[in-house]
Homo-oligomer: A and B are copies of this chain.
Amino acid sequence: MNTRTVGILIFDDVEVLDFAGPYEVFSRTRLVPGAASRRSDESAPFNVFTIARSLEPIAATGGLRVIPDFDFSTSPSIDLLVIPGGFGTRPLLDDELTLDWIRTFTESASITASVCTGALLLAQLGMLKGRKATTHWGALDSLNEIDPTIDVQRATRVVMDSLPDGLVTSAGVSSGIDMAFAMVEHLHGREVANETAHYIEYPRPRPRPGM
A interface, CB within 8 angstroms of B: 15-17, 20-21, 23-24, 26-28, 34-35, 38-39, 48-50, 57, 61-67, 69, 87, 136-138, 157, 171-175, 177, 199-203, 205
How far is B87's CA from A202's CA once the two chains are assembled, in angstroms? 18
Q: Taking chain A's interface residues, is the majority helix, strand, or loop, or is none over half, making it mixed?
A: mixed
Contacts of A23 in B (CB 8 A): 16, 62, 64
Interchain CA distance A48-B21 in the complex, whole Å = 19
Copies in the complex: 2
In this complex, the member of A16, A175, A199 whose beta carbon has the largest number of chain B beta carbons within 10 angstroms is A16
Q: B200 near A27 (CB under 8 angstroms)?
A: no
Whether the Cβ atoms of B16 and A61 lie closer than 8 Å is no
Contacts beyond the supplied A24-B62, A27-B61, A64-B66: 7 A-B pairs with Cβ under 8 Å: A20-B21, A24-B173, A27-B62, A38-B87, A171-B201, A172-B200, A174-B201
